[in-house]
A and B are shown apart, each in its own frame.
Chain A
Amino acid sequence: MRVSLKWLKDLVDVALPVEDLCDRLDMTGTKVEAVHSLGATLEGVVIGRVLTKEQHPDADKLSYCSVDIGAVEPLKIVCGATNFEAGDRVPVACVGATLPNGLTIKRAKLRGLESQGMMCSPTELGVGGDASGLLILPSTAPVGTPYAEYAGLADSVLELEVTPNRPDCLSMLGVAREVAAVIGTDFETPSGTPSESGEPASDAVRVSIAESELCPRYTARVIRGVKIGPSPDWLVERITAAGTRPVNNVVDVTNYVMYELGQPLHAFDLGKLGSADGVATITVRPAAPGETIRTLDGQDRGLAGDTLLICDSSGPVALAGVMGGESTEVSEGTTDILLEAACFDPRSISRTSRRLGLISESSLRFERGVDPDLAARASDRAAALIAEVAGGVVAPGIVDAYPGEKPLPELTLRADRVNAILGTALASADVVALLEPLGLGVVAADDALRVTVPSFRPDLEREIDLVEEVARLHGLENITSTRPGGRERIGGRTSAQRTRARIAATLRSAGLDEHIGYSFGDPADLARLSWDLASDETLVELINPMSEEQAVMRWTLVPSLLRAVSYNQRRGVPDVHLYEMGTAFLTAQGRKQPKERLMLAGALTGSWSRPGWNSPGGTLDFFDGKGVLETVMESLHADRWQVRESARAWLQPGRSADVIVAGDVVGWLGEAAPDVLDAFEVTGPVVLFEISVAALLKAAARASILYRDVPRFPAVTLDIALVVDEAVTAERVTSALRSAGGSLLESVRLFDVYRDVPGAPDDARRLPVGKKSLAFSLVYRAPDRTLADEDVRPAYEKLVRKVCGAVNGEVRS
């Protein structure tokens, strides 16, 4: 809502500076979003008093004057006008001033005499039509004061953010009432009563309303014999400040009254309305199927069934509350006017306006809700103004169909309740004093206040709405800050939330950065990843996505990470280690809401760090990813987990594994397949993993941590290298060693894997073809004594025999 300060000051006495007014409005709930300067400032034009007026010695038509402008020395001015005398007060443009017509005042010699300025006519100042002589000001005009300030030419427009609950503030009257309440002064309600004559309006117009829910009130006035033409300056100035371009005097008045009182009005050309026996019949009804209308903007519009229409005997003539029709538009030849002031259902107007993409000042006000009580007063006001600016005769009476008339609501307000909610200690009398300036009728009853709510405040429906009014007028800044006491409350994170935080912290200490990607997914990523959904899984589809690439909700976090990797690589960042903990979405036929699963995913590529003067770099591979998982699992004390070779289409075969916790596959790990790298424009290798966070939390919750004695006696360490088939996994050998080790075997550590170079000549081979060598360090320890080599030898030899048999291997010599 644009509020001209000049206009506002006509309605309410604003004695404080603009900044202070803005602050008051901000702090009472009407945010001032901007303040614009408007109108001529006429810099350099001040009020002067003519001290002397002499004939110019060399020019009959010029005079030579001395003019006091409040400066030390009076100005000497040569002037061509004749309509003034010494002692008159006039506007004086000093040297350097630029007038609205572009003229810049300079020191100049006129017929031999220097002129130090110019006395101005109204035309020269752009304030009126009289060019014949100087603008003579009243003798009270203060000498030396800038003329624009004196004449009130300059204006400020406040741009107010009006919240949806305050439709009343979409009018100058409403803003004036609000301003008066918040700064504690009075305001004036603009009104007008037209002088009426001729045939009564009811002889020319009949109104019928089909559904009173959709149109609680419709009023029509008739004005005959108007002359359409341009509006006077004051009217143009006002509606321009409010943000509307002038059209013609009648339309401009309807806009003016809309801004002034908040009642949208529409003027029909009465002569163009279909009539029977000279009586126009206005019907307000929903559109019938297939109906169309050509609106003022020349567009033909098909109408949906619930579009509310204003119709004459031949059909639709306006979209109620949104836009008029072309056929009954007021134009140059119009003489008789039907002036509509009505109240329509906000929801209906909102639907029509949105469906047709037509948003007007009128529709915006109806959507928020227009006071039904206002229609007749606004109609009177507008009719009087039309008669004033466009001539014509106002027909007696208003045709007023008001089926939706309701008594004013009365609410109960308890001062105790106010204080209980706000934490204040206001007395009933304080509350009354705060509410009354808003136009509320407040009566003290036995135990509470009875508040009558005026029709312009439809937002006040409940006691709490009144509490809010008290809060904002009392001032939130005047409410004392406290903090809740609150017994029996428990704070902090849950165990699962803490574990999640620990997982994330472990990942960061392992060198991974956290990424947050979009939750949206690209359905084409299914193909990019060769990802097959299970038969009971369906992607979560958005009905109104922003783009094809974000048409579904992501079912995996992998594309989000691959895109981040690609983004970094394309910007010359080769070392990327990311993790993301976020929701993956999948649904199924028959489900309303999808399944939301919290996933942990990671992507590693490049090196842990660039090779440095003392660190080697090295390309990250499968085992870096696995190491990260191992670190996480260790931090959770999850021991019953393992990885198992698996085939996942988006992972490179042979470098792809399932993650298994307590027998369940809960995720996977591997290097991205070459096709995937190409599809996401990523340079590999990229290690990826994705695991269900719920599974990690379960593993962590299961972990039992019990004290074991820290070793007190030294250990015996024996190394063993076993030659086995390539197909025998390290895990198999390790578990064979563990189970054959006997009670003294404390730990088994794989420290070397040896393979001959593929295709090496026989004489360079150290192992048979198809074999590898795994070297382990075995630590034997007894809890109660120092072991000697001989103590472990028998157990070791037994282990060698058993393991060689179990994995079909032999000890490498």
Chain B
Amino acid sequence: MTIIDDLRALETEALAAVESAATSEALETTRVGYLGKKGSLTAILRGLGALSREERPEVGRVSNEVRTALESALEAKRAALHGAARESRIAAEAVDVTLPGRRWPVGKQHVLHEIVDEIVEIFAGLGYQIAEGPEVELDYYNFTALNHPPDHPARALQDTFYVRDLSGDRAVVEGESDVLLRTHTSPVQVHVMESQKPPIYVLAPGKVYRRDVADPSHLPQFTQIEGLVVDEGITFGDLKGTLEHFVHQMFGPKRRVRLRPHFFPFTEPSAEVDVSCAICGGEGCRSCGGEGWLEILGCGMVDPNVFGHVGIDPERYTGFAFGMGAERIAGLKYGVPDLRLFVEGDTRFMHQF
């Protein structure tokens, strides 16, 4: 046996050992066994010094060949083992993707406030500010300054909530209070006009109160959104165009808008505003009671008497106002059959919208 033969035999044996290594660890053991400090190939290479000068180049060439072959076999095997390990890990990690995800609960805004916010966004885009006012009001702001005559039926105890007046002031109405829960957001109009000079472009959302027994179509408390514009040159056409824009934004560009003359104490001329029924498009169907139209708000030009109360010159300025109920709009938009659902706080109801 020559040393060359030994090398060739070692090569065969080592390549077989590499091939048969089943794990990265076994492969490393194999590598160390041949190429480590105490490895068998290393030992042979160390013995080269004892060879004759004639033998040395040939043995050296062969042993390099063997080492190179072994190293590339090791590398190939290492890559194969690594790939196999990754594949088996991937296989083991496969999941049923139809299992439900891990969730964090996300809270829901109340549908009424969602609607209020949507309306606020639309009018903020038209250059309106958001105004607020007290919920416990004085008769003056709720009625008198809004041109309600002294005997207006809305003032009756059966319709309006009155609040005990602790001021000791009995001058206004003997034995009665002139402090009340506002019945509409319109008193905010008066506060704004008292404190601000035109141009006035405001939207006033808020809670209002009327003495109705809670049932599917009534609540003693509901949400109103009031709009007021006072500026030079404001016309009924401006009111109409503004409301059409609002309806198209809120309900979609295909809905038509109809203004019917009506009566409100604090606007003149006044109108009720209908939107064409989404289901039948105005032809009349069961959803709109055969009307083809759904009433959504009231509006009109600010009555000169209202300007009189707040010291705005009606010859110089004109204005319009409009008001709508968030509950009504939510009812129309989502078909909510019972208004009481809005105040009960059933989270299953809240998450429907």
Contact = CB atoms under 8 A, between A and B. Distances in A.
Nearest to A608: B105
Given A28-B261, A491-B124, A571-B346, A511 B167 contact: no
Contact of B110 (A420, A514, A571, A594): A514
A484 B229 contact: yes
A435 to B, nearest CB: 14
Contacts of B177: 543
Interface in A583-618: 583, 585, 587-594, 596, 608-609, 612-615
Interface stretch (B9-17, B42-50, B74-82, B156-164): B156-164
Nearest to B114: A514
A480 to B, nearest CB: 5
Size category, A interface: 35 or more
B60 interface: no
B128 interface: yes
Contacts of A662: none
Contact of B124 (A351, A477, A492, A591): A492
A486 B150 CA distance: 35
A563 B207 contact: no
Interface stretch (B22-30, B63-71, B86-94, B337-345): B337-345
B345 A519 contact: no
A459 to B, nearest CB: 9
A486 B127 contact: yes
Contacts of B241: 481-483
B348 interface: yes
A553 interface: yes
Contact of B166 (A504, A511, A582, A590): A590
Contacts of B179: 592-593
Contact of B234 (A484, A488, A504, A508): A484
Query: Which one of A464, A540, A588 has the highest number of Cβ atoms from chain B below 10 Å of its Cβ?
Result: A464
A608 B167 CA distance: 47
Given A516-B113, A543-B157, A568 B261 contact: no
Contact of A476 (B109, B167, B261): B261
Contact of B236 (A476, A550, A591): A476
Interface of B: 99-100, 102-110, 112-113, 117, 120, 123-130, 134-138, 150-151, 153, 156-158, 161-169, 177, 179, 181, 199, 201, 207, 209, 211, 213, 220-221, 223, 229, 231, 233-238, 240-242, 244-245, 258-263, 268-272, 301, 303-304, 318, 342-348, 350-351
B107 A513 contact: yes
A422 B164 contact: no
Contact of A467 (B138, B158, B169, B269): B269
Interface stretch (A49-57, A214-222, A305-313, A572-580): A572-580
A165 interface: yes
A415 to B, nearest CB: 14
A61 interface: no
B110 A516 contact: yes
A710 interface: no
A612 B100 contact: yes
A567 B345 contact: yes
Interface string A546-573: 1000100100000011011101100101
Contacts of A347: 150-151
Contacts of B113: 514, 516
A544 B162 contact: yes
B104 A608 contact: yes
B297 to A, nearest CB: 14
Given A489-B201, A513-B350, A593 B136 contact: yes
Nearest to B167: A592
B303 A542 contact: no
Interface string A152-178: 000000000001111000000000000
Query: Which one of B113, B120, B269, B318 has the highest number of Cβ atoms from chain A below 10 Å of its Cβ?
Result: B269
Contacts of A479: 236-237, 240
B345 to A, nearest CB: 3
Nearest to A596: B134
Interface string A358-398: 00000000000000000000000000000000000000000
B228 to A, nearest CB: 12
Given A484-B234, A492-B129, A543-B162, A513 B213 contact: no
A423 interface: yes
Contacts of A563: 345
B163 A481 contact: no
B163 A491 contact: no
When A and B form their complex, which 6 residue pairs have the shortest distance between CB atoms, in order from nearest?
Answer: A564-B345, A423-B237, A423-B235, A29-B261, A508-B107, A163-B263
A509 interface: yes
A305 to B, nearest CB: 14
B343 A516 contact: yes
Given A484-B238, A545-B161, A615-B102, A489 B346 contact: no
Given A490-B129, A513-B351, A514-B113, A481 B244 contact: yes
B207 A515 contact: no
B105 A511 contact: yes
26 contacts: A163-B262, A350-B153, A422-B237, A464-B303, A465-B268, A468-B261, A471-B269, A476-B236, A476-B269, A482-B235, A482-B238, A484-B238, A484-B242, A493-B120, A513-B110, A541-B164, A542-B162, A550-B220, A553-B136, A553-B163, A568-B346, A578-B345, A578-B347, A589-B166, A593-B137, A594-B136
Query: Which one of A28, A165, A483, A585 has the highest number of Cβ atoms from chain B below 10 Å of its Cβ?
Result: A483
Given A29-B263, A512-B107, A546-B220, 14 more contacts: A27-B258, A28-B261, A347-B151, A464-B304, A481-B240, A484-B233, A484-B238, A504-B109, A508-B107, A519-B181, A545-B161, A583-B207, A593-B138, A596-B134
A567 B344 contact: yes
A239 to B, nearest CB: 27
Contacts of B138: 592-593
A803 to B, nearest CB: 36
A117 B19 CA distance: 112
A593 B130 contact: no
Interface string A263-278: 0000000000000000
B221 A519 contact: yes
Nearest to B348: A573
A456 to B, nearest CB: 17
Nearest to A514: B110
A354 B151 CA distance: 11
B163 A543 contact: yes
Contacts of B272: 31
A538 B129 contact: no
A719 to B, nearest CB: 29
Given A513-B350, A564-B344, A476 B105 contact: no
A520 interface: yes
A421 interface: yes
A542 B163 contact: yes
A576 B347 contact: yes
B235 A422 contact: yes
Contacts of B164: 540-543
Nearest to B350: A513
B331 to A, nearest CB: 15
Contacts of A420: 233, 235, 318
Contacts of B107: 507-514, 577, 579
A793 interface: no
Contact of B237 (A26, A164, A482, A511): A482
A684 B345 CA distance: 18
Nearest to A417: B315
Query: Which one of B110, B153, B270 has the highest number of Cβ atoms from chain A below 10 Å of its Cβ?
Result: B110
A497 interface: yes
A798 interface: no
A28 B169 CA distance: 45
A477 B240 CA distance: 9
